[in-house]
Amino acid sequence: MTMFFQVAIDGLLMGMVYALVASGLSLIWGVMDVINFAHGEFLMVAMYVSYWLGFLMKVDPIVSWIASGTFCFILGAVTYRLIIRQCLGGPALSALLATFGLSMILKNICLNRFSPNFRLLTGTLLDGKKIILGKVIFPLPQLVTGLFALAVVFIIYYIIKRTRLGWAIQATAMDKEAAELMGIKTDWVFAFVFGMGGACVGIAGGLMPSYLAVHPEVGGLFSLIAFIAVAMGGFGSIPGALLAALFIGLVEAFGGFYIAPVFKYVVVFGLYIAVVMFRPKGLFGW
């Protein structure tokens, strides 16, 4: 029974991080109907930023998430300005393929400069520490990262739903032209949203090098899982993405433990197909 809870906790903690990554993607998809194929690579970049800050300057991930979050915000906004903006009027495929190209560029720059070696930050503040409740172990790095990620998701949701900026974003998402008629600078909204998407991933990536190894391919799987989570949760829905991400974290953990590690992702992807057969627009999509 303890094993059950342990696996569940591990899954949930991972799921919370997935939720943050997915929220960023959901924001971008919901507002501009663009799938950011480079989302996982933004995460990779963030992890490298945090890793090098930690490795070279002994900055702890607990603090360096600010740097990687900001870096990825800028990366996102720049990506929008230089690439996405040109793709918006054209075929839906353009933005997807352009971000795919971007993901190749980012991944291979890191491969070239930093080699394919796996790098793990050791000796951080939380490294190796854990909380034990009953017989269940809560590793501190994962716990802090997970809860922090969850908090950021809620903050973003709050911003979208309760602030004027958030309403401007929602308006632009629902009807770009109408929003412009109301005096909303949709171009700035788009740039901001893409930046926010990057920042989400940046924050997640900032905290993770303390327990997850950095390497050029690390973004790939996160990308895929983020896509699945967002699509399962429904276009433009952050609660949906959160729920789906937590679900995926659990399924991944249980599938890996009780069936077989190889089956982990078969179950996750199969789940997406199953959900979308009954609700073609995801759980909460509009």
Partner 1 sequence: MNITKFKKQDIYWYLFIIVLVIIPLVPFVAKNSFLQHVLILILLFASMSQSWNILGGYAGQVSFGHSVFFGIGAYGAGMAVVKYGVAPWPGILIGAITASIVAVLIGYPCFKLKGHYFAIATFAIVEIFSRLFMIWYWVGGALGLDYPLVEEGWKNFIWYYTKIPYYYGALILFIVIFGVVRWIEKNRFGYYSVAVREDQEAAESIGINSTIVKLLAMAVSAFLTGLCGAFFVQYNFRVDPPMVMSLSMSMTFVLITILGGAGTILGPLMGALILIPLQEYSRALWGGLGGGIDLIIFGIIIVVVVVRQPKGIMGIISEVKNHFQNTKKTDFSLGKTKGGE
Q: What residue spans of 163-217 are helical by DSSP H?
A: 164-174, 176-181, 186-207
| Residue number, 9 or 193, with CB nearest to partner 1 | 193
Q: How far apart are CA 280 and CA 282, in angstroms?
A: 6
Q: How far apart are CA 111 and CA 215, in angstroms?
A: 8
| Residue number, 101 or 123, with CB nearest to partner 1 | 101
| Residue number, 101 or 128, with CB nearest to partner 1 | 101
| Residue number, 93 or 125, with CB nearest to partner 1 | 93
Residue type at position 176: K
Beta-bridged to residue 89, according to DSSP, are: none
From the CB of 195, what's the least distance to partner 1, in Å? Answer: 19
Residues forming contacts to partner 1 in the complex (CB under 8 A) are 29, 33, 35, 83, 86-94, 96-98, 100-105, 107-109, 111-113, 115-116, 224, 227-228, 231, 235, 260, 262-263, 265-266, 269-270, 272-273, 276-277, 280-282
| Residue number, 108 or 122, with CB nearest to partner 1 | 108
From the CB of 83, what's the least distance to partner 1, in Å? Answer: 6
From the CB of 286, what's the least distance to partner 1, in Å? Answer: 13
Q: Report the largest interatomic distance among the alpha carbons of the chain, rounded to a whole angstrom.
A: 59
- Tell me if 96 sits within 8 A of 34, measured CB to CB: yes
Q: Which two tokens stand for residue 185?
A: 């600078």
From the CB of 260, what's the least distance to partner 1, in Å? Answer: 8
Return the closest-CA partner of residue 204 out of 39, 25, 17.
17
235 conformational bin, left if phi > 0, alpha if psi -120 to 50, beta if neither: beta
Q: Which two tokens stand for residue 56?
A: 């070279």
From the CB of 188, what's the least distance to partner 1, in Å? Answer: 19
From the CB of 104, what's the least distance to partner 1, in Å? Answer: 3
From the CB of 209, what's the least distance to partner 1, in Å? Answer: 21
Q: How far apart are CA 32 and CA 96, in angstroms?
A: 12
| Residue number, 63 or 93, with CB nearest to partner 1 | 93
Return the closest-CA partner of residue 284 out of 222, 223, 242, 224.
242
Long-range contacts, stretch 169-176, CB < 8 angstroms, 24+ apart: 169/31, 169/193, 172/31, 173/30, 173/31, 173/32, 173/236
